[in-house]
């Protein structure tokens, strides 16, 4: 089976770079505010620098986070695909993405979800409204009393 490896849009890489730079700038400004301004007269500059640094840091975190959104959604798509068709290739991709231990967790989650789906369809039963016998979930007539089920 051919493994598809869609390239992420460059925008997200740029977002990561800009976000990372802003984070670094913010930290740097904050540290510099302690180092550069030693005289008491420059308190305003120091506060301005710290304020700027904090802003850059917060915006940096936000932009970096945005840069990682496609990675997260790609992983979710893979996980959902694996849950639906239990394809071993998808599980391999997931394990590459998030590490072997987590893939074992995904396998367990997939199993649990599949069990829920299975219960919803075949094998599920209900009780006859009239005589109380356990019958198939999609049975139209009760096989003991013969009354029609709604």
Each residue 36-65 as x (binds Zn ion by CB under 5 A) or -, in order, gives ------------------------------
Query: Cβ of residue 141: shortest distance to Zn ion, in angstroms?
Result: 8
Which CB sits closer to Zn ion, 114 or 126?
Answer: 126
**Dist CA 146 CA 122 (whole Å):** 21
Buried b (16+ CB within 10 A) or exposed e, 107-130: beebeeeeeeeeeeeeeeeeebee
Which CB sits closer to Zn ion, 115 or 134?
Answer: 134
Query: Cβ of residue 124: shortest distance to Zn ion, in angstroms?
Result: 17
Binding residues for Zn ion restricted to 114-143, rule: CB under 5 A: 128, 130-131, 133, 142
φ, ψ dihedrals at 136, nearest 5°: -60, 145
Specify the DSSP element, H or E, that contains 45.
helix 43-85
Which CB sits closer to Zn ion, 130 or 137?
Answer: 130
Which CB sits closer to Zn ion, 115 or 143?
Answer: 143
Query: Cβ of residue 72: shortest distance to Zn ion, in angstroms?
Result: 51
145 binds Zn ion (CB under 5 A): yes
Site for Zn ion (CB under 5 A): how many residues? 7
Specify the DSSP element, H or E, that contains 59.
helix 43-85
- Which residues lie below 8 Å from residue 126, measured CB to CB, with a gap of 6+? 134, 135, 136, 137, 139, 149
Q: Which residues bind Zn ion (CB under 5 A)?
A: 128, 130-131, 133, 142, 144-145
């Amino acid at each position: 089976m051919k493994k598809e490896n869609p390239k992420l849009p460059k925008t997200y890489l740029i977002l990561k770079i800009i976000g990372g730079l802003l984070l670094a700038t913010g930290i740097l400004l904050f540290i510099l505010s302690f180092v550069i301004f030693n005289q008491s007269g420059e308190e305003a500059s120091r506060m301005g620098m710290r304020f700027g640094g904090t802003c850059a840091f917060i915006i940096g975190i936000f932009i970096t986070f945005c840069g990682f959104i496609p990675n997260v959604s790609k992983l979710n798509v893979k996980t959902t695909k694996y849950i639906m068709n239990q394809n071993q290739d998808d599980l391999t991709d997931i394990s590459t993405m998030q590490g072997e231990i987590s893939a074992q967790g995904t396998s367990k989650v997939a199993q649990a979800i599949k069990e829920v789906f299975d219960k919803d369809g075949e094998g599920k039963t209900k009780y006859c409204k009239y005589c109380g016998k356990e019958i198939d979930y999609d049975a139209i007539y009760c096989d003991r009393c013969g009354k029609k089920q709604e």
